[in-house]
Amino acid sequence: MAKDDVSLRVALGGDEAAYELKEALREHIAALGHEVHDFGTYNAQPVLYADVAVRVARSIAAGEFERGILVCGTGIGVAISANKVQGIRAAQAHDTYSAGKARSSNDAQILALGARVVGPELAKSIVTVFLGTQFHGGASAEKVARIADYEKEAFRDRPET
Protein backbone atom coordinates (compact mmCIF):
# COMPACT_ATOMS: atom_id res chain seq x y z
CA MET A 1 0.00 0.00 0.00
CA ALA A 2 1.35 3.43 -0.93
CA LYS A 3 2.21 5.90 1.83
CA ASP A 4 -0.77 8.15 1.00
CA ASP A 5 -3.29 5.30 0.86
CA VAL A 6 -5.74 4.81 3.69
CA SER A 7 -6.29 1.45 5.30
CA LEU A 8 -9.98 0.54 5.12
CA ARG A 9 -12.21 -1.84 7.02
CA VAL A 10 -13.72 -4.00 4.27
CA ALA A 11 -16.69 -6.37 4.55
CA LEU A 12 -16.56 -9.28 2.11
CA GLY A 13 -19.22 -11.81 1.23
CA GLY A 14 -20.56 -14.07 -1.46
CA ASP A 15 -22.39 -17.21 -2.36
CA GLU A 16 -21.21 -20.69 -3.35
CA ALA A 17 -20.98 -19.74 -7.04
CA ALA A 18 -18.29 -17.24 -6.13
CA TYR A 19 -16.63 -19.01 -3.20
CA GLU A 20 -13.25 -19.42 -4.92
CA LEU A 21 -13.25 -15.80 -6.10
CA LYS A 22 -14.21 -14.57 -2.63
CA GLU A 23 -11.28 -16.49 -1.13
CA ALA A 24 -8.86 -14.99 -3.68
CA LEU A 25 -10.22 -11.49 -3.02
CA ARG A 26 -9.97 -11.93 0.75
CA GLU A 27 -6.25 -12.61 0.39
CA HIS A 28 -5.83 -9.77 -2.11
CA ILE A 29 -7.61 -7.19 0.07
CA ALA A 30 -5.46 -8.15 3.06
CA ALA A 31 -2.32 -7.95 0.89
CA LEU A 32 -3.33 -4.39 -0.04
CA GLY A 33 -3.10 -3.56 3.66
CA HIS A 34 -6.80 -3.38 4.44
CA GLU A 35 -8.62 -5.07 7.29
CA VAL A 36 -11.05 -7.61 5.83
CA HIS A 37 -13.95 -9.35 7.54
CA ASP A 38 -15.38 -12.38 5.76
CA PHE A 39 -19.17 -12.69 6.05
CA GLY A 40 -19.18 -16.03 4.19
CA THR A 41 -19.97 -18.29 2.61
CA TYR A 42 -17.19 -20.34 4.12
CA ASN A 43 -17.44 -23.30 1.74
CA ALA A 44 -19.02 -24.29 -1.56
CA GLN A 45 -22.35 -25.32 0.00
CA PRO A 46 -25.42 -23.42 -1.29
CA VAL A 47 -26.46 -20.28 0.59
CA LEU A 48 -28.95 -17.54 -0.12
CA TYR A 49 -26.84 -14.70 -1.53
CA ALA A 50 -29.42 -12.16 -0.38
CA ASP A 51 -28.75 -13.08 3.25
CA VAL A 52 -25.01 -12.59 2.89
CA ALA A 53 -25.41 -9.36 0.89
CA VAL A 54 -27.78 -7.81 3.42
CA ARG A 55 -25.48 -8.72 6.34
CA VAL A 56 -22.60 -6.98 4.56
CA ALA A 57 -24.75 -3.95 3.65
CA ARG A 58 -26.14 -3.59 7.18
CA SER A 59 -22.64 -3.69 8.63
CA ILE A 60 -21.61 -0.84 6.35
CA ALA A 61 -24.79 1.16 7.03
CA ALA A 62 -24.05 0.76 10.76
CA GLY A 63 -20.55 2.17 10.28
CA GLU A 64 -18.72 -1.04 11.19
CA PHE A 65 -16.96 -1.09 7.80
CA GLU A 66 -16.16 1.59 5.21
CA ARG A 67 -16.45 -0.57 2.09
CA GLY A 68 -17.86 -3.87 0.97
CA ILE A 69 -17.13 -6.38 -1.76
CA LEU A 70 -19.89 -8.82 -2.73
CA VAL A 71 -19.60 -11.68 -5.20
CA CYS A 72 -22.05 -14.12 -6.72
CA GLY A 73 -22.36 -15.76 -10.13
CA THR A 74 -23.12 -12.52 -11.99
CA GLY A 75 -22.90 -9.81 -9.32
CA ILE A 76 -26.47 -8.83 -10.08
CA GLY A 77 -28.27 -10.57 -7.21
CA VAL A 78 -25.92 -9.35 -4.50
CA ALA A 79 -26.09 -5.78 -5.82
CA ILE A 80 -29.89 -5.79 -5.87
CA SER A 81 -30.01 -7.30 -2.38
CA ALA A 82 -27.51 -4.85 -0.85
CA ASN A 83 -29.35 -1.89 -2.34
CA LYS A 84 -32.42 -2.82 -0.29
CA VAL A 85 -30.61 -1.57 2.84
CA GLN A 86 -31.25 2.09 3.56
CA GLY A 87 -28.20 4.27 2.98
CA ILE A 88 -26.38 1.77 0.79
CA ARG A 89 -25.18 2.34 -2.74
CA ALA A 90 -23.97 -0.94 -4.24
CA ALA A 91 -22.63 -0.91 -7.79
CA GLN A 92 -21.99 -3.83 -10.07
CA ALA A 93 -18.77 -3.39 -12.04
CA HIS A 94 -16.87 -5.74 -14.30
CA ASP A 95 -14.14 -3.35 -15.39
CA THR A 96 -11.81 -0.93 -13.63
CA TYR A 97 -13.34 2.18 -15.21
CA SER A 98 -16.81 1.40 -13.86
CA ALA A 99 -15.40 0.52 -10.43
CA GLY A 100 -13.57 3.84 -10.26
CA LYS A 101 -16.63 5.80 -11.36
CA ALA A 102 -18.81 3.93 -8.85
CA ARG A 103 -16.62 5.46 -6.14
CA SER A 104 -15.61 8.83 -7.60
CA SER A 105 -18.99 9.85 -9.02
CA ASN A 106 -21.55 7.78 -7.11
CA ASP A 107 -19.89 7.32 -3.70
CA ALA A 108 -20.75 3.61 -3.81
CA GLN A 109 -19.76 1.80 -0.64
CA ILE A 110 -20.17 -1.70 -2.07
CA LEU A 111 -18.74 -3.28 -5.21
CA ALA A 112 -20.55 -6.28 -6.70
CA LEU A 113 -18.70 -8.71 -8.97
CA GLY A 114 -19.71 -11.80 -10.90
CA ALA A 115 -17.44 -14.84 -10.64
CA ARG A 116 -18.88 -16.19 -13.89
CA VAL A 117 -18.22 -12.86 -15.60
CA VAL A 118 -14.68 -11.87 -14.57
CA GLY A 119 -11.62 -13.94 -13.79
CA PRO A 120 -9.70 -13.64 -10.56
CA GLU A 121 -6.90 -11.40 -11.87
CA LEU A 122 -9.30 -8.90 -13.41
CA ALA A 123 -11.43 -9.03 -10.24
CA LYS A 124 -8.35 -8.17 -8.16
CA SER A 125 -7.63 -5.17 -10.41
CA ILE A 126 -11.24 -4.00 -10.15
CA VAL A 127 -11.17 -4.31 -6.35
CA THR A 128 -7.86 -2.44 -6.15
CA VAL A 129 -9.32 0.48 -8.09
CA PHE A 130 -12.56 0.47 -6.09
CA LEU A 131 -10.78 0.48 -2.74
CA GLY A 132 -8.23 3.07 -3.87
CA THR A 133 -10.69 5.61 -5.26
CA GLN A 134 -12.24 8.41 -3.23
CA PHE A 135 -15.54 10.19 -3.84
CA HIS A 136 -14.77 13.43 -5.66
CA GLY A 137 -17.85 15.35 -4.61
CA GLY A 138 -18.19 18.45 -6.79
CA ALA A 139 -21.05 18.18 -9.26
CA SER A 140 -21.54 14.55 -8.24
CA ALA A 141 -22.32 15.51 -4.62
CA GLU A 142 -25.65 17.06 -5.62
CA LYS A 143 -26.55 13.93 -7.61
CA VAL A 144 -25.72 11.58 -4.74
CA ALA A 145 -27.67 13.84 -2.35
CA ARG A 146 -30.69 13.60 -4.67
CA ILE A 147 -30.46 9.81 -4.59
CA ALA A 148 -30.46 10.01 -0.78
CA ASP A 149 -33.54 12.29 -0.89
CA TYR A 150 -35.45 9.77 -2.99
CA GLU A 151 -34.33 7.00 -0.69
CA LYS A 152 -35.59 8.87 2.39
CA GLU A 153 -38.91 9.36 0.63
CA ALA A 154 -39.13 5.66 -0.21
CA PHE A 155 -38.22 4.58 3.33
CA ARG A 156 -40.31 7.21 5.14
CA ASP A 157 -43.09 4.84 6.12
CA ARG A 158 -40.94 1.73 6.44
CA PRO A 159 -39.04 0.49 9.47
CA GLU A 160 -35.23 0.68 9.41
CA THR A 161 -33.58 -2.27 7.67
**pLDDT by residue, tens only, the chain of 161 residues:** 444 468 999 999 999 999 999 999 999 999 999 999 999 999 999 999 999 999 999 999 999 999 999 999 999 999 999 999 999 999 999 999 999 999 999 999 999 999 999 999 999 999 999 999 999 988 888 888 898 888 888 887 666 55
Q: Write down the architecture of domain 9-155 according to CATH.
A: 3-Layer(aba) Sandwich (3.40)
Catalytic (active-site) positions:
72
Q: Where are the beta strands (DSSP E) in the chain?
A: 9-14, 35-38, 67-72, 90-92, 110-114
Of the candidates 51, 24, 26, the one whose C-alpha atom is nearest the C-alpha of residue 36 is 26
- Pairwise CA distance, residues 29 & 42, whole Å: 17
Number of H helices, E strands in the chain: 6, 5
